[in-house]
Chain A
Amino acid sequence: MMKKNEMITPMQLAFILYPTVMATGFLALPSLAASYAPYDFWMIGLVVLGTGILSVAAATSLHARFPRMTVVECSERILGKALGKIIGMLYFLNLVHVTGVVSREYAEFVKNNFLIKTPMMLVIVLMLLLVSNAVRGGVSVIAKSALIFTTCFVFPLIFLLLLLPDLEWGNVLPFMSHGIVPVLKASAVPQSWVSELFLINFFLPYVSDSKAGMKWGYIALSAVSVSMVLINLIVLLVLGLDTSNKAYPILVAFRYISIGGFFENLEALLLVMWVAGNFVKLTVFLYATVTAFSQCFGVTDFRTVVLPIAVLASVFSIWDLPNFSVMQQLLVKVGTFETPLFMNVIPLLLLLVAWLTGRKSADDGGVGG
């Protein structure tokens, strides 16, 4: 399916994974979370570690059991052809749906704040064209471009430190006045994003050193956790109680930066971050979607199906999502359960069955990739 000599380094894996979780989440995360735990929501970065560990562990142990296979392939191994194909189908449907919703989220922000009159479909289509271009280049192009764009994505976050004079440290108080429950509630949505780390499974077959790949998976997880805490903390310290009322608290934070009356209005940075991060995220998702599809249906050259699937994803980006609030509701009410189902529950069940039946990948190695 993919050329065998296409390899990625374990470190590139972390650069792929980080924006996969953070790219869309970081923007709306503080306000979603603040509505549940207005003073303590900065802690959710720590709470989500649990889901993250579960995801990475599921992905890597599946990989250890079935090297050179993705979850779609090994589900066929574990559950037999028919059931396995159904699981593969479900993965494809879930992934194409998420790809669509992510591109919608991406376009909503661009349209809401930067290109108000430009048709949303254009924004989505242009992005998906670029993403398809990258996916057709295969994992090595995805990994290389991720390295560059993830750097673009992380770098502007440093500028948030310019808000230091505006931080009001008292805003973190009262600390846990209602106990841990609101924090857990607040982390319901973010943990579903973190579970997307499971997508590491689709890249592990191409990692030159899968042990190190696992290590970098956990490094990506800790980076996600640390940045969630930092971002939430800065937003909380700047906006306080008003956080939950902002659609994009980070945007407000960036706009609030002002040094010397000249170095201000930095939302351009946020646009750079947003486009770069979402590019990587969508690349990863589209790649996973395409892989799931071609492995499930035995497509010999995955490149042929990239564009059709991108078109399908763009359909999912508008289908049944009439407006911004429906999209938000979908993220909160459906995404919270849908994503962990595919990224945590099914893989763990697969592992369980594999463990019970003692199935392992045959050592022929001819099936994978």
Chain B
Amino acid sequence: MRTRYKPTASASRVPRNRRELTEEEKQELVLSLADNVQRLQALYSNCSDVIVRRFAIGGVTDAALVYIDGLIDTDKADRYIVTPLMDADGPKELNLIRLAEQRISVSDMKAVATIGDCISAISNGQPVLLRDQEASGLAFGLPSWEKRAIEEPEAESTIRGPREGFTETLRVNTSMLRRIIKSPLMKLEKIVIGEYTQTNVVLVYIEGLADTALLQEARTRLEGIRIDGILESGYIEEMIEDNPRSPFPQLLNTERPDVVCAALLEGRIAILTEGTPHALIAPISLFSLLQSPEDYYQRFWPSTLIRWLRYIFAFISLVLPSFYVAVTSYHQEMVPGALLSSMATSREPVPFPALFEALLMEVTFEALREAGVRLPKQVGAAVSIVGALVVGQAAVQAGLVSAPMVIVVAITGIASFMLPRYIAGIAIRMLRFPLIFLGGTLGLLGIMMGIILIVLHLCRLQSFGMPYLQSITTMQRSDIKDIVMRAPWWALDIRPQLNSKPQTKREAPNQMPDNQ
């Protein structure tokens, strides 16, 4: 679709996103154990966490177990690998694999033939067993490291709905998905990204539901990433967006397995990244940002009403301050009489123009919010109390800002918190500032110009080839049902349209319960 993502010549030479192997890594293992161990130790020089445990198999043949301390379960390694091998007294000529098949009771086992294989196994928490007079080794899956327990996702809490969130461990996360979608059609393709971090990234989709073109596009974009390290899915998000300069996010991030599964069932794809609880979902539309998972868990009437409340407040959070500035400095006749006179009274001591007043307050508000987020929870509350109550009140009394402006900023702030997606809130909060400028320089006309510009941008924007405003500009009945209201589940029988392909059903016909 976009040339930017087409695999380059070098990318096609190296399949699967992996850094180019060094000469040392390409080397095959040799027969001599001492040589092999020495080469590994040379690569891992100054790595105090790498342990080489030498022992003799059956008291005769030299062997070594190489692992990184803290990444494996040493207790199990002792019990199931080292002890049985030391006690072994079978024929010496058995090769390592036969020996392991007879003696070693670890289920996950694979052969390694190069130094590079050894390294990647060791780094992933698999102890590598090498034996003298054997040009290959064995890696055992005994990873065990400290990990965070599954907790409730704090950024996306719901009243009704599952309370588990992703953790930093990829395997735990995929297991959560697999627990929800048991069909083998759910595929998890592994891609390694990051020259140093060698981060495991998993592309999740349901075969048959996800469009193949979309999948191919996603693979191409992911494999095109050349970077030294991936620490968070945000790295990936910015590298694969359709329009990298847009203020609007084109991938959704979530900590909730249920949200990912819902997306998968709609034919979208998800990208899970090792080391972060945030999964990415694509493609999305503008309305994905205004939906909360809970919309689908509550009954449809409250969900519909809350959705509308959210739309209204999203709009308010975008335009209210600029509208206030435009009205007070250009279109005073639009304010009802009684209100205008009290506004005038309250603005009387304020020395700043309304535009400046609004910017001052909005910037202060953003600073307060940011300070509250970064601080520990207990202190954060104190900041918001001091900021909101004390500073606001004092500023009004000192005549620095007018009371209506404080109210406007407060309502705007609350409105921006109504958005269930933090990223969407940020986009809207950013766009608020240019709109305030426009409102303060050209009045309502300026705001309209700004909104037209935003809408034009949204009309162009795509998320993985899917138009950002897909559902409303095509006026698909099945999509509109999930936008102007949250239709009850028995009526949401068709999957949303993500591409030009015909939509598919997700329910058997006539699912509406009989009216008793």
Contact = CB atoms under 8 A, between A and B. Distances in A.
Contact of B456 (A134, A268, A271): A134
B330 interface: yes
B473 A275 contact: no
Contacts of A140: 459
A123 B455 CA distance: 19
Interface in B269-313: none
A149 B445 contact: no
Nearest to A12: B473
Given A114-B331, A133-B453, A148 B472 contact: yes
A118 B330 CA distance: 11
A272 B335 contact: no
Given A115-B330, A144-B459, A145-B459, A261 B336 contact: yes
A220 B58 CA distance: 90
Contacts of A114: 330-331, 443-445
B333 interface: yes
Contact of B334 (A126, A127, A262, A265): A265
B467 interface: yes
A147 B336 contact: no
A137 interface: yes
B473 A268 contact: no
B448 A264 contact: no
B448 A275 contact: yes
B472 A147 contact: yes
Contacts of A148: 455, 459, 469, 472-473
A38 to B, nearest CB: 30
Given A9-B475, A133-B456, A144-B473, A262 B336 contact: yes
Interface string A114-130: 11001000010011001
B474 interface: yes
B452 A149 contact: yes
B382 interface: no
A275 B452 contact: yes
A114 B439 CA distance: 13
Contacts of B467: 144
Contact of A276 (B331, B448, B453, B469): B448
B31 interface: no
Interface string B306-341: 000000000000000000000100110111100000
A9 B471 CA distance: 13
Interface string B439-457: 0001111001100110110
A180 to B, nearest CB: 39
B330 A137 contact: no
Contacts of A144: 459, 467, 469, 473
Interface in B442-490: 442-445, 448-449, 452-453, 455-456, 459-460, 467, 469, 472-475
A130 B452 contact: yes
Nearest to A269: B334
A206 interface: no
Contact of B452 (A115, A271, A279): A279
Contacts of B442: 115, 118, 126
A141 interface: yes
B445 A123 contact: yes
A267 B334 contact: yes
Given A130-B456, A149-B455, A265 B333 contact: yes
B460 A137 contact: yes
B445 A11 contact: no
Contacts of B445: 110, 114-115, 123, 271, 275
A9 B474 CA distance: 7
Interface in B181-240: none
Interface in A26-43: none
Nearest to B475: A11
B194 to A, nearest CB: 36
A275 B336 CA distance: 23
B445 to A, nearest CB: 6
16 contacts: A114-B330, A118-B442, A126-B442, A133-B453, A133-B456, A134-B459, A137-B456, A141-B456, A141-B460, A144-B473, A147-B472, A148-B469, A148-B472, A149-B455, A271-B445, A275-B445
Given A127-B449, A271-B448, 15 more contacts: A9-B474, A115-B443, A126-B442, A134-B459, A137-B456, A141-B456, A144-B459, A145-B459, A264-B336, A265-B333, A268-B331, A268-B334, A272-B444, A275-B449, A275-B452
What 9 pairs between A and B have smallest CB-CB spacing? A144-B459, A144-B473, A275-B448, A141-B459, A265-B334, A262-B336, A145-B459, A268-B334, A147-B473
